[in-house]
């Protein structure tokens, strides 16, 4: 169970998160959506303890993230697979070693088990035989999938994706959406998907939270959001509303 309570975060005068409260229950797939710059990535970084909130709380399985020591935080992180927006692969390491890093740091697998897990994880994302390639040799879609393989390799309880399909072609988007659903189902991973791709939202998420200007403007079921009459939500999901040019979109 994840509980976010009245989370606030500013950078100077820029108030990015303004009193964010929501819960995630086990097995759920939740999309967090919103325009570029609304604070989606900042929210995620606060959730995994990479950033500290100015006020408010993040609870993961009854642990208050902002109060944990580095060691305690590492322990919580063994439960969380993270697919970063940028891919965040180490360019000087092979694909296999990129995946191995997390296994070494966050699991008790021995070296042979680690090797098996690397190959298994690459196979899960249909990238068999790429373990000795360098990140520079990969396409954008392959990099994203290596990022996913690295995240699932530790068999986390929670899987957080930051923009898993942004910038990919429709076929690769579809492949990645199907992978997200597969991990939800096969491993019962609770998934948080940050995205502004509507196809990804409808393909993978049961629930949606929409952020605007640091606040939650929608928190509900994915299949009901198209009926919502709020202009910004309507515009985001259907591409037409009464909003004027000059609005934030
Ligand atoms: N480390 C930081 N220092 C100062 N400002 C930051 C920092 N990180 C993010 N911001 C600011 O916080 C705001 C939200 O950024 P964030 O990256 O969370 O947006 P986002 O919703 O993820 O956007 P995108 O959809 O483009 O990824 C932006 O105005 C950004 O400039
Ligand atoms: Mg972002």
Q: What digits encode the pLDDT tens for the residues 79-123?
A: 999 998 777 889 999 999 999 998 998 888 999 999 999 999 999
- Which residue range is the domain that position 100 belongs to? 90-155
pLDDT averaged over every residue in the chain:
90
Residue 103 and residue 125: Cα distance in Å, rounded? 17
Q: What digits encode the pLDDT tens for the residues 185-223?
A: 888 899 999 998 888 999 999 999 999 999 999 999 999
Number of domains forming the structure of the chain: 2
Q: What is the CA(11)–ligand 1 centre distance, in A? A: 9
List of residues 6+ apart from 239 with CB closer than 8 A: none
* Pair (2, 71) in one structural domain: yes
Q: What is the CA(50)–ligand 2 centre distance, in A? A: 14
Residue 158 and residue 6: Cα distance in Å, rounded? 21
Pocket test for ligand 1, best of 10, 17, 35, 41 (most atoms within 8 A of CB): 41
* Pair (65, 185) in one structural domain: yes
Ligand 1 atom at minimal distance to the Cα of residue 42: 18
Residue 65 and residue 51: Cα distance in Å, rounded? 10
* Pair (67, 162) in one structural domain: yes
Contact present, 38 and 44 (Cβ < 8 Å): no
Q: Averaged over 15-35, what is the pLDDT?
A: 94
- List, in sequence order, every residue forming a beta bridge with 132; answer none if it has no partner: none
HSE on the CB side for 196, CA within 13 Å?
17
Residue 212 counted as domain residue: yes
Residue 243 and residue 249: Cα distance in Å, rounded? 9
Residue 34 counted as domain residue: yes
* Pair (133, 65) in one structural domain: no
Residue 12 counted as domain residue: yes
Residue 243 counted as domain residue: no
Is the distance from the beta carbon of residue 196 to the nearest atom of ligand 1 less than 6 Å? yes
């Amino acid at each position: 169970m994840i509980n976010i309570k009245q989370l606030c975060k500013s950078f100077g005068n820029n108030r990015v998160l303004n009193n964010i409260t929501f819960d995630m229950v086990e097995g759920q797939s939740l999309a967090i959506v919103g325009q570029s710059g609304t604070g989606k990535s900042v929210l995620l970084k606060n959730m995994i303890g990479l950033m500290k909130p100015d006020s408010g709380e993040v609870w993961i399985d009854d642990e208050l993230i902002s109060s944990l020591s580095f060691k305690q935080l590492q322990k919580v992180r063994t439960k969380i697979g993270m697919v970063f927006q940028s891919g965040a692969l180490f360019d000087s390491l092979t694909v296999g070693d990129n995946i191995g890093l997390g296994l070494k740091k966050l699991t008790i697998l021995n070296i042979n088990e680690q090797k098996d897990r690397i190959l298994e994880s690459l196979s899960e994302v249909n990238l068999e035989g790429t373990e000795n390639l360098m990140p520079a040799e990969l396409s954008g879609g392959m990099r994203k999938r290596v990022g996913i393989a690295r995240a699932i390799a530790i068999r986390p309880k929670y899987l957080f994706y930051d923009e898993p399909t942004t910038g990919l072609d429709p076929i690769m988007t579809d492949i990645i959406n199907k992978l997200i659903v597969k991990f939800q189902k096969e491993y019962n991973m609770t998934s948080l998907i940050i995205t502004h791709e509507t196809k990804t939202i409808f393909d993978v998420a049961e629930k949606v939270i929409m952020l605007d200007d640091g606040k939650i403007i929608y928190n509900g079921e994915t299949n009901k959001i198209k009926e919502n009459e709020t202009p910004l939500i309507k515009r985001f999901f259907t591409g037409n509303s009464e909003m004027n040019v000059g609005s934030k979109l």
